[in-house]
Amino acid sequence: MGRIEKPLRKLFDRSRPYFEKGRRMERLKPFFEATETFFLYPAIPVEKKPFIRDSLDLKRYMSIVLAALMPPFFFGIFNTGFHARNASGLSTDFLSVFGEGLIIVMPIVVVSYGVGLFWEGLFAAIRRHPISEGFLVTGLLFPLTLPPTIPLWQVAAGITFGVVIGKEVFGGTGRNLFNPALTARAFIFFAYPVQMSGERVWIAVRETAGNAVDAVTGATPLAVAALADPKARIEAVFADNGYTFQTLFFGNHIGSIGETSSLCILIGALVLIATGIGSYRIMAGGVIGALATGMLFNFFATPDLPAWFSVNPVYHLVTGGFAFGIVYMATDPVTAPGTDKSKWLYGFLIGAVAVLIRVVNPAFPEGVMLAILFMNIFSPLMEYAEMRLRIRRRIPNV
Amino acid sequence: MQMKNVSIKKKIGIHVAGGPSHAVEKGPAITTVAAMPDRIPFIKPRLLVKKGDAVTIGTPLFEDKGNPKLRFLSPGGGTVAEIGYGHRRAITRIVIKTGKTEAHESFDPIDEKGLKNLDRDSLIETLMDRGLWPLIRSLPYRGIASPDEKPSSLWVSLDSADPFHVPSHLYLKDKEALFLFGIRILEKLCHPVYVCETEGAPVRSGEIAPLVTHRAPAIYPAEDPGVLLYHTKKSPDENLAWFTKGQDVLLLAEGLKTGRYPTSRIIAVSASGNGNGGGNTAASRCVDTRLGAPLSSLLPNPETASNLRWIAGGIFQGYTTDPDGYMGFYETALTLIEEAADPELFGFLRPGLFKPTASRAFLYALHKKHFTAKADLRGEERACINCGKCEQVCPVDIMVQFTYKCIYAGEIEEALMHGLLDCVECGLCSYVCPAKIELAETLKTTRQDYYQDRI
Ligand code: SF4
Ligand code: SF4
């Protein structure tokens, strides 16, 4: 053992007895274990055959998802800081922008993790389960889907709903039907619509003495599009408002903290695919589904129909939370089907339904969230159908 | 007959360092041997000897309470030195201290002509009498074959399914004629007899080559008889098949031909990373020894390996054993691997250039070099996250996570539909599972429970 491991080991060994059965802090054992194994990766002897095991475990699995979330996370911090300072008329050099972003974003992340961990720990203690690593992902996914001005108490309410209703009532990690982060997001969206949409929520303005802007408005690309005249082309409307395809792709515009940059999300997607942690089938299925549905609408587009009908389908991929949803939320293995063909279908339908909602109901542009939650419901069914088909192909052995 | 290539699409590369060198060494003289009744599935042993009894090679030591004709003979001549009991007084070992000269029980030698004149029933009876019948086992449950069964085929795997095993060209050397005789015996018991070799095996001699009917890819566990059967069967009638291993064919043949209970065994002794970080270590070799040899006799310096994990019967399918244990009836491999060592600071965040994995989640995936095996769970048990890794590696296409859930919910019928009985107990599903769920073990015990309730 190294120089650091030894004293740590000692520290944990000395504290462990307090968390044993019958001792005062017995109930906090899941916390103790989570902390211990975070620092000191356990070496547990294999009891049953096979006597060697793969190095991949859930800690690694979830760490890779977190790593894949880093590009949109850091970009989100920068972007939030930039728009806040820009709107407040403050200097926009990199350091102060990033610092500003940290000040705005970190409290949201900390509340999400803190409150979420509390519930997670509570249920772990009651059920005497270990704390599941999946929470580390939920706790970061959720804040990245929020507008930067979200009141912290709503963050707390959202993550509470997500963890308790989205996951624990189903029996905890592995049994949940819905993606907890998405459940949290949907809850906030419907419970506190004012803070989740409109023109005032996207820029976290810094109120300084010298600058008396009381509210800075800014419309996200989706909001701009919603107001567009049906006769106009969405691409043109976007461009008029400064949202060229490039802007949309690189993501330096206002929007939810982590959702704006398709480029960063693409990098995350590549990490997930390269490591085999995120299903490329779901992602590719989603992209194909969105493009195909977009083209189908193009086909029916007339000047009387909403402008979204005629948009170049590629725009669907870079606007709103589509990319973020399909890369990070739809690929959650627990709530997606576990079988390969169903993954294609699941992804495809998410893409299709997301575009459908966006095009047909412009008042409700954020379709991907609902699309995923909706397909979460059907995921066990698809899985089951594929399973039946595959079983039927087997030569029975009973 | 045209040789068939068995194609198995799933490929999982597990590259464990420390395989045995391809040379056979004569093991040292042995003073104790043992029979290990609890390593033989499904039998209920009834002792026929007691401590202190004098026995010869071939004296019945115990029989199966369910079928007293099924007898297990002594692999050594001398006195019964110890009878070991385990959990619920199951007999774990019968140790025999061998005398200076060991006497043999003698039966009538049977040669090719004698074999021709035997009918199937008397052959079976002869094999039972001579303690050779247990070498023939039955799919899907993998217990000793029952003479009443009607097997669709009989499979001989020349090479073992485990990554560390005695290559067939080593044990077949100079025994080609004996092997041929063994196959003739099997052909009397069941038709057809299939012999499978592994891709890339050295060219066979003139006697062996025409016997080989199938060739399997050189990936674990392609040469397991269950995998071969699964990938070749055409109808449910073929589910019941018999199998035996290449070395066991030699035992069968020797037992009939010489009229003596055969006791020779070549054991693959492998040590992964014994001292120098993997590779062929001094301890990795093939040892020509006897049935039921003490494990410590298989290594030059067993004391130096006392801190390692001793596994008899293969790294995937064997048993953890004490260094003072013995090789069981079916086992042909002794593998020594490192124990789980010390916890690692922020282990899950490391790039993992040397963290062996079948996934792509560590930098190891870039080179996939042979690694030092460790009996480390490499994580903690968690709830299933439905990642699908288990079903991706299953050689017989079981959707393991769903089958596991069926078992968990008590829906055995459903689990059977999923292919529970096709499971070959290879352990790959447990190997890859990131939630560290004991899938293979659960499936195996469920199969066995199901089998025993049905009787
Ligand atoms: S279920 Fe597991 S142990 Fe059984 S054959 Fe499949 S991978 Fe091997
Ligand atoms: S590998 Fe483990 S966690 Fe993944 S689906 Fe199979 S049982 Fe579940």
A278 Ramachandran zone, left/alpha/beta (phi>0; psi -120 to 50):
beta
**Parallel, antiparallel, or unpaired for β B264-271 and B333-339?**
parallel
CA distance B153 to B138: 10
Considering the domain architecture, whether residues B136 and B51 belong to the same structural domain is answered as no
Residue of B nearest to A391 (CA): B418
| A5 CA distance to ligand 2 middle (Å) | 31
Considering the domain architecture, whether residues B39 and B82 belong to the same structural domain is answered as yes
Considering the domain architecture, whether residues B65 and B19 belong to the same structural domain is answered as no
Give me the residue from B14, B239, B315 closest to A51, CB to CB.
B315
* Domain closes at, from B63, B90, B105: B105
Domains contained in chain B, number: 3
For the ranges A223-237, A239-253, B73-87, the lowest mean pLDDT is seen at: A223-237
pLDDT surpasses 50 at A304: yes
Question: In sequence order, which residues have a C-beta less than 8 Å from that of residue B352 and are 6 or more positions away?
Answer: A55, A60, B361, B362, B363, B364
Of residues B191 and A350, more confidently modeled: A350
Domain that holds residue B150: 4-23+107-258
Considering the domain architecture, whether residues B85 and B208 belong to the same structural domain is answered as no
At A365, the pLDDT band (50, 70, 90 cuts) reads: low
Give the model's pLDDT for residue A19: 79
At B257, the pLDDT band (50, 70, 90 cuts) reads: very high
At A364, the pLDDT band (50, 70, 90 cuts) reads: low
| B342 domain-assigned | no
| B387 domain-assigned | yes
Burial B367-398 (b: 16+ CB within 10 A, else e): eeebbbbbbbbbbbebbbbbbbbbbbbbbbbb
Place of tokens 């003479």: B147
| B292 domain-assigned | no
CA distance B155 to B186: 10
Q: Which two tokens stand for residue A176?
A: 């949940």
pLDDT surpasses 70 at B282: no
| B54 domain-assigned | yes
Of residues A139 and A197, more confidently modeled: A139
Give A304's DSSP letter. Answer: T
For the ranges A342-356, B58-72, B130-144, B355-369, the lowest mean pLDDT is seen at: B355-369
Considering the domain architecture, whether residues B77 and B113 belong to the same structural domain is answered as no
Q: Where are the alpha helices (DSSP H) in A88-209?
A: 94-127, 134-144, 152-164, 180-191, 193-196
Of residues B5 and B129, more confidently modeled: B129
Considering the domain architecture, whether residues B112 and B146 belong to the same structural domain is answered as yes
Considering the domain architecture, whether residues B124 and B250 belong to the same structural domain is answered as yes
Considering the domain architecture, whether residues B10 and B154 belong to the same structural domain is answered as yes
Give the model's pLDDT for residue B5: 81
Which of B120, B326, B340 has its CA nearest to residue A55?
Answer: B340
* Sign, Cα dihedral of A358, A360, A363, A364: negative
CA distance A311 to A236: 10
Considering the domain architecture, whether residues B73 and B164 belong to the same structural domain is answered as no
| B76 domain-assigned | yes
Give the model's pLDDT for residue A13: 80
In single-letter form, the type of residue at position B267 comes to I
* Domain closes at, from B66, B82, B105: B105
At B278, the pLDDT band (50, 70, 90 cuts) reads: very low
The separation between the first and the last C-alpha atoms of chain A, rounded to the nearest angstrom, is: 51
| B71 phi/psi in degrees, rounded to 5 | -115, 150
Chain B nearest C-alpha distance from A25 (Å): 22
Considering the domain architecture, whether residues B91 and B123 belong to the same structural domain is answered as no
Give the model's pLDDT for residue A254: 86
Measured from the alpha carbon of residue A61, the closest ligand is 2
CA distance A60 to A63: 5
Which of B224, B154, B164, B160 has its CA nearest to residue B195?
Answer: B154
Which of B212, B235, B232, B211 has its CA nearest to residue B222?
Answer: B232
CA distance A101 to A108: 11
For the ranges B22-31, B156-165, B342-351, the lowest mean pLDDT is seen at: B342-351
Half-sphere exposure for A298 (CA within 13 Å, toward CB): 14
Residue B65 belongs to domain with CATH number: 2.40.50
Q: SS3 for B254?
A: helix
pLDDT in tens, B191-244: 899 999 988 888 888 888 999 999 988 888 888 999 999 999 999 999 999 999
Which B-chain residues 268-297 have CB contacts (< 8 A) with chain A?
none
Which of B67, B270, B42, B242 has its CA nearest to residue B157?
Answer: B242
Q: Is the CB of B428 under 6 A from ligand 1?
A: yes
Residues of B in contact with A64 (CB under 8 A): 361
CA distance B289 to B75: 12
| B325 domain-assigned | no
Strand runs labelled E in B130-209: 137-139, 143-144, 154-157, 193-198
* Domain closes at, from B73, B105, B137: B105
Q: Which two tokens stand for residue A265?
A: 């999300």
| B309 phi/psi in degrees, rounded to 5 | -85, 125
| B118 domain-assigned | yes
Residue B3's CB: how many other CB atoms inside 10 A?
A: 13
Q: Calculate mean pLDDT across residues A45-73.
A: 93
Q: Is the CB of B438 under 6 A from ligand 2?
A: no
Considering the domain architecture, whether residues B67 and B81 belong to the same structural domain is answered as yes
Mean pLDDT of all residues belonging to chain A: 87
Hey, whose CA ends up nearest to atom 7 of ligand 1? B394
Whether ipTM exceeds 0.85: yes
Give the model's pLDDT for residue A204: 76
**Parallel, antiparallel, or unpaired for β B344-345 and A40-41?**
antiparallel
CA distance A59 to B364: 17
| B264 domain-assigned | no
Residue B227 CA: which ligand 1 atom is closest? 5
Considering the domain architecture, whether residues B113 and B223 belong to the same structural domain is answered as yes
